[in-house]
Copies of this chain bind each other. A is one copy, B any other.
Amino acid sequence: MRQVAVASGGLTRFTKNDLSLETLMVSSVKQIFEKTENLEQKDIDVVLISTNANDKYLANIVSELCGISPKIAHSIESLCNSGTNCIVSAYSYILSGLAKTALVIGAEKTNSPGLVLEWDKSRGQYKHPIYWSSMFTSAHMRKFGTTSEDLAYVSAKNHRNALDNPYAYFDREYSLQEITESKNLTENVRLLDCSMSCDGSAAVLLTSSDIATKFTDRPVWITGIGQKSTSAGFTKNDDLTSMKSTAYSASDAYQMSGRKPTDVDVAELHDAFSICEIIELEDLGFVSKGQGSSYVHQLYDSHDRRINPRGGLIGAGHPLGATGIAQTVEICQQLQGNAKKRQVDGAKVGLVHNMSAAATSSTVMILES
């Protein structure tokens, strides 16, 4: 199943700035062209744009700004997992034979219309993600005795990991006490347990196996893919201690790749809020249900970087359309041995988990060097 490779990735700093969406996108693409030997604009068959912005025809605009005239070009939107939806689409264009290469570009501005969920007519007034996060937190606390301090461990670990990520939004550590004493947004969600909306872009270049080595001597293969949409409204979920779309996607991705959770050396998890990482560790099969918190304690205490080495969404920031792509860039750098201070030694198998809207949809990808 070594048929489609990620050859290269590009990033901008995740921050708050006045740069336009197009400028951010061109910046991450520029990094790919600078880093990728032999890559010319005429090599690009597909340009897919991941964003929640309302701008139209962005794939053509950004292509023109980059001097690219692709065959296939369009924007893809699925809220917070737009990025991995784009990557999986690019994978299928290459595997179908319609393309040899695809450039996947994500970007978002802090004023993204994807942030307040006006779209979900089934959830009444619960339009802001903190509400679903709060309900997941309550449910997990009730069933498994999870505490505010457990949540703080996720945040402390991911802020600390982000210190070694030069593109991260945050650049300081937070103590457990600072986190548990940060502003209460709901009765159980604190400000420092939330990912931060910000401006940023990420891009990856995918290629078919027959030309991958033209562009890199260390291709990273996409060996497993799982995706699932369970609903639009999270209130259809009858057990808020679990993310069904994530469990389903993980099962498919493991099966396709022939890998199991214990084979995974390094993983990017979609920690939109601290509770998410705890639940996802369980639903991705890294630990059994109810063991997520104690596993995070263990990672924190031993300075183990295998989960969210770049700092996750909590430490690195969450520019919606760029997130799934930035996660993929990180796992590729890890599997290529390029992750510098963030490097997980000997990482060969990586996992990307990206989800939207209270995990009503999820993507899981297995990548291998």
Q: Which of B58, B72, B78 contacts A85 (CB 8 A)?
A: B72
Type the 1/0 row for A240-268, where 1 means its CB is closer than 8 Å to any CB of B. 00000000000010000000000000000
Complex Cα spacing A307 to B73, Å: 27
Contact between chains at B361 and A60 (CB < 8 Å): yes
Contact between chains at B113 and A60 (CB < 8 Å): no
Complex Cα spacing A236 to B67, Å: 12
Give the oligomeric copy count.
Answer: 2
Asked if A93 is an interface residue, CB under 8 A from chain B, the answer is yes
Contact between chains at A92 and B88 (CB < 8 Å): no
Find chain B residues with CB under 8 A from A121 CB: 61
Asked if A191 is an interface residue, CB under 8 A from chain B, the answer is no
Complex Cα spacing A263 to B73, Å: 28
Asked if A124 is an interface residue, CB under 8 A from chain B, the answer is no
Type the 1/0 row for A58-76, where 1 means its CB is closer than 8 Å to any CB of B. 1111011000011111111
Contact between chains at B120 and A61 (CB < 8 Å): yes
The segment out of A7-15, A209-217, A225-233, A326-334 that lies at the interface is A225-233
Asked if A91 is an interface residue, CB under 8 A from chain B, the answer is yes
Contact between chains at A56 and B114 (CB < 8 Å): yes
Describe A's contact surface by its main secondary structure: mixed
Find chain B residues with CB under 8 A from A119 CB: 55-58, 61
Q: Which of B54, B72, B233 contacts A113 (CB 8 A)?
A: B54
Find chain B residues with CB under 8 A from A75 CB: 76-78
Asked if A161 is an interface residue, CB under 8 A from chain B, the answer is no
Q: Closest residue to A91 on the B side, CB-wise?
A: B96
Q: How far is the CB of A224 from chain B (nearest CB, A)?
A: 11
Contact between chains at B120 and A57 (CB < 8 Å): yes
Asked if A138 is an interface residue, CB under 8 A from chain B, the answer is no
**9 contacting pairs across A/B (C-beta < 8 A):** A52-B56, A56-B79, A57-B77, A57-B79, A61-B121, A63-B232, A64-B236, A72-B88, A73-B78
A residues bordering B, Cβ < 8 Å?
A: 47, 52, 54-61, 63-64, 69-79, 82, 85, 88-89, 91-93, 95-98, 113-114, 117-122, 225-233, 236, 252, 356-357, 360-361
Q: Enumerate the 5 nearest inter-chain pairs by beta-carbon distance, A residue then B residue, closest first.
A: A95-B96, A92-B96, A74-B78, A60-B232, A61-B232
